[in-house]
Amino acid sequence: MKQSPRFLAAFGASIVLTIGTATAAFAGTGVDAAAPSSSAAAPSSAAVATAGRTALARSDQAADRFGIDRSPARAAVDRAINRDDYQCGPTDFDAYIDGLINGLSKDEFTFLVGHIEMLDVPTYDALLYGSDTDQRYALRSDYRTQLTHTFRDVKRFWDIQSGDIQLMSMHGSIMGDAAAVSRVLQLPLGEPFSKSPAEADKHAKEIAEAVDSGMFDGGNNPLFTLNAFAFTAEGDPDPLVKGVPDKLIFGDGIVDALNAMGIGDVGPRAVMGHEFGHHVQFEDNLFDSPLTGPEATRRTELMADAFGTYFATHARGLSLNTKRVLQAEKTFYEVGDCAFTNDGHHGTPNQRLRSSAWAAGIADAARPQGKILPSLTFADMFEQELPVIVAPDAS
């Protein structure tokens, strides 16, 4: 539902990553570095690259249906395959993802390119079938307490109906469950999904066996869950999502990435603030504007940044140190969003930082009384500030 961005909004996921470090990162596993596998039956590297390229292009159709931007991991694999299509400066996040890909064994990389839908399986599984009462979607123990508390706090903070939003996680290890994988592969999303039951079972068995054998850290390689997103089916005519409750889904991989980038202290909470900001937008009908395409997405993403930062820094929100929050946000805003013409464009790092800094200033002005602005008032103030936030800043 690309034309219906209110359907689902993902954190920082639309990023077309850079090629900057790809060559170095691929020194060990290079897809076009003629990688004859030890197995005689292994496909040639050229065949693998072609298959992977086709699968990625087709998989974009499935992402469109959910309004999900391509995950950074998919973009990184894409970049590795289509090396010449991207140009944009490398960032910490790029380096992290390249490190993950570089860390794959040759067999893992070949398997991944041949089963590229793995990058989407945990997302669609959690989105359509996950529930907050199912242990398989429980938040991982190392971040469960903190994010559960933050979720409670953010629900109290904003004046929207939020009692029905389910907080859950997604784990790559779900791919060890062949039945769960097969169910996703049969979804009518177009290639590489839409498989017949027999075909889906066959592919699911291959994936489950690979994961069970320990490949991809038993499925828990962060590549497969490198995202957090807000989801609502409300107002969406797609029969596939009928009856699916509102959700806020946190992938293990995004937490791993934030930790690896040195912002594990406030990063996950700030991301939750942003994602919950999308739920405020769903409930307050803030997705409608005269803007279209990338500008429309940029507006709602920058607004979610503002909602998130206001909550994170407000005395009656998380009351986190403003400087630290902005530092952390600077790091994850620099995810290399150069996709200025992409419908999933999140805004440039500078624009995102300006939006957050503006929101932190509003929160700070509320001290010491600590009044929380109604969400619609805050949104109005944001609309007035938006032209300043997106004003050209190149010197």
Stretch that binds Zn ion, among 68-76, 109-117, 202-210, 301-309 (CB under 5 A): 301-309
CB closer to Zn ion, 14 vs 221: 14
Cβ closest to Zn ion, residue 157 vs residue 276: 276
* Candidate segments 24-32, 74-82, 253-261, 304-312, binder of Zn ion by CB under 5 A: 304-312
Q: How many CB atoms are closer than 10 A to CB 252? A: 23
Contact between residue 5 and residue 230 where contact means Cβ atoms under 8 Å apart: no
- Angstrom CA distances, 233 to 246, 284, 319, stand at 7, 15, 32
User: Which DSSP state fits 340?
Assistant: T
Query: Which residue lies nearer to Zn ion by CB, 111 or 276?
Result: 276
Q: How many residues bind Zn ion (CB under 5 A)?
A: 4
Q: What is the rounded distance in angstroms from the CA atom of residue 335 to the CA atom of residue 316?
A: 29
* Shortest Å distance, C-beta 305 to Zn ion: 8
Q: What is the largest CA-CA distance in the chain?
A: 72
Q: Is position 68 an interface residue for Zn ion (rule: CB under 5 A)?
A: no
The residue range among 57-65, 81-89, 297-305, 376-384 that interacts with Zn ion, by the rule CB under 5 A, is 297-305
Crossing angle of helices 267-284 and 322-333, in 10° steps, is 80
Of the candidate residues 208, 248, 304, 326, the single one contacting Zn ion (CB under 5 A): 304
The footprint of Zn ion on residues 9-38 (CB under 5 A) is 9, 11
User: Quick one: 256 or 305, whose CB is closer to Zn ion?
Assistant: 305
Nearer Cβ to Zn ion (5/219): 5
Give the nearer residue to Zn ion in terms of CB position, either 304 or 357. 304
Segment interacting with Zn ion, rule: CB under 5 A, options 18-26, 54-62, 239-247, 299-307: 299-307
Q: Which ranges of the chain would DSSP assign to H, the alpha helix?
A: 22-25, 45-66, 72-81, 92-102, 106-114, 121-129, 141-157, 178-185, 197-212, 252-260, 267-284, 293-313, 322-333, 349-365, 375-389
Binders of Zn ion in range 319-338 (CB under 5 A):
none
**In the bound complex, what is the minimum distance in angstroms from residue 228's beta carbon to Zn ion?**
9
Site string for Zn ion, 268-287 (x = CB under 5 A): --------------------
Segment near Zn ion (CB under 5 A); pick from 4-12, 169-177, 211-219, 237-245 = 4-12
> Which DSSP string corresponds to 199-262?
HHHHHHHHHHHHHHTTGGGGGT-GGGG--EEEE--TT---GGGTTPPPEEEEEHHHHHHHHHTT
**Could you tell me whether strands 8-10 and 228-231 are parallel, antiparallel, or unpaired per DSSP bridges?**
antiparallel
Nearer to Zn ion, 9 or 185 (CB): 9
In terms of DSSP bridges, do strands 166-170 and 8-10 run parallel, antiparallel, or are they unpaired? unpaired
| Contacts (Cβ under 8 Å, ≥6 apart) of 369 | none
Contact region with Zn ion (CB under 5 A), list: 158-166, 196-204, 262-270, 295-303:
295-303
* Chain residues in the site for Zn ion (CB under 5 A): 9, 11, 301, 304
